[in-house]
Structure 1
Amino acid sequence: MADTRPRPRSPFLRALAFDDSLPIEPAAVRLWLDDLERPTRWSLRPLLQLLLAVLLHLIWFVKRLPLPQFRAHGLLQRLICWFCTHFVSPSANQLILRHFATESNILNFLIDNGPEVTVEPLTLYPSRIEDMLDASFVKHDQELFRVIEEMGHWRQRPAALAPQAINWTHWRSLEESDFELPRRRTQVLDFESAHALFMCLFCLLLTREEYRDAINGFNLDQSIAIRVGQLIGDPSLAEMAYNKYPHYLVGPWNLSQCFLMHGFFTEYLYARLERLRLAAHQPPNGSTAAYTAK
């Protein structure tokens, strides 16, 4: 009889499951390790990334020509949601939904604790794939740019905020039960293979300016980390940002890695702030019971 047991993880992946030197939620680690072990990650993904990177640069070149621009945001979102529902693995889908929430939390943290200006908080916290039809990836990017613009010029505080003085009004803790992800037998595609397919759709169905802004928005990671680090007194946060120097505009070269590292960045920063929030709300008697944000 054939051995049907799952293959044991390699020593490196077993070590990765326990390495929390960088702040990251155990749920995110579990989802990522599950994604890494999908066969499509090691067989289909390299071919997809090679072929679709060539196609992406061709579309990028055509979109840069002085031709009439067009967009199809609704079609883009419907295609992505349909594809996620039928072909993308549940673990990859949950990572996608988590990304909306982690970035919304980080920006809301800046809004709640930043300059004395009125900025509308983000409400992009989809819990189902269908929710992304409204809380779209395009809106996700535009909300980032809106918040940075409306907050105005950043002025460093003379001192970091005391933990008890930090405002968590619009912060939402993430629990696995927050996400509704029905499973289908056809959902086998890993996160990176799915992104390789999506990146050409984004380039085609956005205007050249929208797409240029979206891929360069990753480089605001460093700016966000600097701001959060100044608020909580931790300048080392800037080292978590792989994407840096937003004044230098880039094209779609190495886009898959930039996108993936942007996702890790928001997970790291979310976990760092969540630990800070939980520590600040520990009961005075030292009990380990944690306050849960609503």
Structure 2
Amino acid sequence: MSRTEDWLDAPHDPRDPNPWLALYLDASGPLADEVKRAWLADAASRSRQFVLPVVRPLARLSIVLIQLLKIVLPNGLTSSKWLHRTIVWGMKTFVRPEANWLILRHFHLGSQVLAFIGRNALPGRELPSHPLRPADIDALRDDVFLQHDLNLFNFVIELNRALGGRPIQPPAGLDFSMIEPPPLRLEEMPRRWTNFIDLQTAIEVYTPVYQLFLTDNDFWRATNSLQLDETIGIYCATLLQRPDYLVFLNNKHPLVPLTTLRAGFRLVLHGLSTEMLHALLSRAKAEHAAPFQR
């Protein structure tokens, strides 16, 4: 298992510069230091270097084969309970601490971002919500992955129904009270010798598992939810009046859904986009509070 310090503390050799050190020192993005360290430590792991290139084509082949099976049995072999139990077992047994921490953070961050949009796009009104704040990996057993996808579509539908076709308008004052670091500690993630699989490899493996245990409709809805990154980004950029923030979102246009074949890679981009957006909201919160602290 590689450690961040292996490349962070190594002396710089101009004839052989370390790419991970360059990415870590680059300050053009908004990620907090602990998040960037965890993300790059995971990306620099041997698992991503040697296991991912083998797993990715096999996972994509599995997606094709399962899709053929789903044509005949669109609702067969489905069980949300076993899907979540399988994912939880795999995370606790095989996935790196940094990857597990980032996965758990994702649900907290997504819930906070939706709460920010709802609170500020409709001041004085509360939309129906199902916030997800798993305290540990075991908490994911409660259909958290499936509920995450449902939350996103339900939010977009409820928000735009409430707006009555009107575009979002920035309010007189923004409420950032829901934007805060999740109460999750990297040190508390499983650290057995078997926990070596990186985030991207784990997601590539879990994608066909997700497809197998969900109905064909549920899986397609889950993959199509990745197209809404830019939509959520537009909502936040409009409220903040910062269109430049959209540069960090990269799942392309929501009206052009992609196939399920690259869902694993796009899911990683979704996770990074969520981290970036939450970091930008945290920065805006700090800037908003600064005048009142003088």
For normalisation by structure 2, the TM-score amounts to 0.87
1:291 is aligned to none
1:290 is aligned to none
Identify the match of residue 58 of structure 1 among 52, 65, 68. 65
Contact 2:24-2:37 within 8 A present in 1 as well: yes
The structure-2 alpha-carbon separation of the partners of 1:285 and 1:217, relative to structure 1 and needing over 3 Å to count, comes to closer
1:33 aligns with 2:44: no
Which consecutive residues of structure 2, in runs of 5 or more, have no partner in the other structure? Answer: none
Distance between the aligned counterparts of 1:119 and 1:24, measured in 2?
Answer: 29
Q: CA deviation at 1:248?
A: 2.3
Kindly provide the CA deviation profile for residues 34-83 of structure 1, in whole angstroms up to 9, marking residues without a partner as x.
11222111111111111111111111222134655452101000010011
Q: CA deviation at 1:25?
A: 1.7
The alignment partner of 1:253 has SS state of: helix
Contact 1:24-1:271 within 8 A present in 2 as well: yes
2:54 is aligned to 47
1:243 aligns with 2:251: yes
CA RMSD in angstroms comes to: 2.2
The alignment partner of 2:260 has SS state of: coil
1:96 aligns with 2:103: yes
The one-letter code matched in structure 2 to 1:11 is N
Q: CA deviation at 1:215?
A: 0.5
For normalisation by structure 1, the TM-score amounts to 0.87
The structure-2 alpha-carbon separation of the partners of 1:170 and 1:236, relative to structure 1 and needing over 3 Å to count, comes to same
The structure-2 alpha-carbon separation of the partners of 1:230 and 1:285, relative to structure 1 and needing over 3 Å to count, comes to closer
Kindly provide the CA deviation profile for residues 9-37 of structure 1, in whole angstroms up to 9, marking residues without a partner as x.
85321111121212212111111111122
Contact 1:222-1:244 within 8 A present in 2 as well: yes
1:192 is aligned to 200
The structure-2 alpha-carbon separation of the partners of 1:157 and 1:45, relative to structure 1 and needing over 3 Å to count, comes to closer
Distance between the aligned counterparts of 1:202 and 1:222, measured in 2?
Answer: 24
1:22 aligns with 2:33: no
Distance between the aligned counterparts of 2:248 and 2:223, measured in 1?
Answer: 18
Contact 2:47-2:198 within 8 A present in 1 as well: yes
1:230 is aligned to 238
1:150 is aligned to 158
The structure-2 alpha-carbon separation of the partners of 1:285 and 1:56, relative to structure 1 and needing over 3 Å to count, comes to closer
Q: CA deviation at 1:235?
A: 1.1
Contact 1:196-1:256 within 8 A present in 2 as well: yes
More helix by share: 2
The structure-2 alpha-carbon separation of the partners of 1:211 and 1:179, relative to structure 1 and needing over 3 Å to count, comes to farther
Contact 2:94-2:194 within 8 A present in 1 as well: yes
Which consecutive residues of structure 1, in runs of 5 or more, have no partner in the other structure? Answer: 287-294
2:216 is aligned to 208
The structure-2 alpha-carbon separation of the partners of 1:269 and 1:6, relative to structure 1 and needing over 3 Å to count, comes to closer
Kindly provide the CA deviation profile for residues 121-179 of structure 1, in whole angstroms up to 9, marking residues without a partner as x.
44211121011112611111111111111112553355x345xx111343332355488
Distance between the aligned counterparts of 1:276 and 1:179, measured in 2?
Answer: 28
The structure-2 alpha-carbon separation of the partners of 1:198 and 1:115, relative to structure 1 and needing over 3 Å to count, comes to same
The one-letter code matched in structure 1 to 2:167 is Q
The structure-2 alpha-carbon separation of the partners of 1:66 and 1:247, relative to structure 1 and needing over 3 Å to count, comes to farther
Contact 1:124-1:135 within 8 A present in 2 as well: no
The structure-2 alpha-carbon separation of the partners of 1:169 and 1:71, relative to structure 1 and needing over 3 Å to count, comes to farther
The one-letter code matched in structure 1 to 2:197 is L
Distance between the aligned counterparts of 1:285 and 1:212, measured in 2?
Answer: 47
The alignment covers a number of residue pairs equal to 279
Distance between the aligned counterparts of 1:234 and 1:179, measured in 2?
Answer: 35
Q: CA deviation at 1:204?
A: 0.5
Moved more, 265-274 or 95-104: 95-104
Contact 2:135-2:184 within 8 A present in 1 as well: no
